[in-house]
Structure 1
């Protein structure tokens, strides 16, 4: 008889005691992974926007496969959210942005707020990827975690 990952208990580090996905813990683990591994991987991508997105999706996929699914570029109203994760009856909206311009944060906040409105949700995640190398913007200043209220939504801003 074959058991899935959750039955074996291998993935319990990202599941809370209620059996739900601990998205905060999962994204904090990704921040650490990204800090340690991204520069080696990102130099391989010609299309620079794809690199951070693919690393996050690959990191999440190994976890979500244990009991959920990842919807990429999910149509939400007139837009498309980058990732909609479904796991054990819950949904998580993640909007991903490269920090090309200072306006990336505000644009991302406004976008995710619209998506959350359309989905009838009040909590989401904005993931901001710094595109400048760590020799210019060191990891100590680029890795951030902030919970804010924006347009009556709870948004967690994850920067790396």
Structure 2
């Protein structure tokens, strides 16, 4: 949030844990220059947990009628693979960053 606020200041908005109509809570939604960005934040708890997170954000994208979303995974394992990769879930594209 500290990083995003100065970037979107005056040209967008940032919403933390906004609620959908079916009472689900997303982690972060950014409106910036007429575009909407959905961001899911996860702490790494294994592959199965990560797959559920990917499915979760794909559902949020469906709700907002978006094709692309973002997931930031915080992995505290010493042998983690850091980086950014594209993942396709159905007809949705997820950009996942592992830090």
Task: Please tell me the TM-score bracket, short chain as reference.
Answer: 0.7 to 0.9
**Stretches of structure 2 lacking an aligned partner (at least 5 in a row):** none
> TM-score scaled by structure 2?
0.88
Query: Larger strand proportion, structure 1 or 2?
Result: 2
Give structure 1 stretches of 5+ with no counterpart: 1-56
Q: How far did residue 131 of structure 1 move?
A: 2.7
After TM superposition, what 4+ stretches of structure 1 lie above 4 angstroms from structure 2?
none
More helix by share: 1
| 1:63 is aligned to 2:7 | yes
- 1:58-117: CA deviation from partner (whole Å, max 9, x where unpaired): 111221114111011011233111010001100000000001333232011011011011
Report which of the two structures shows the higher radius of gyration computed on alpha carbons: 1
Corresponding residue for residue 41 of structure 1: none
Aligned ranges 1:38-77 → 2 under 5 Å: 57-76=1-20, 77=22
> Does 1:94 find its partner at 2:39?
yes
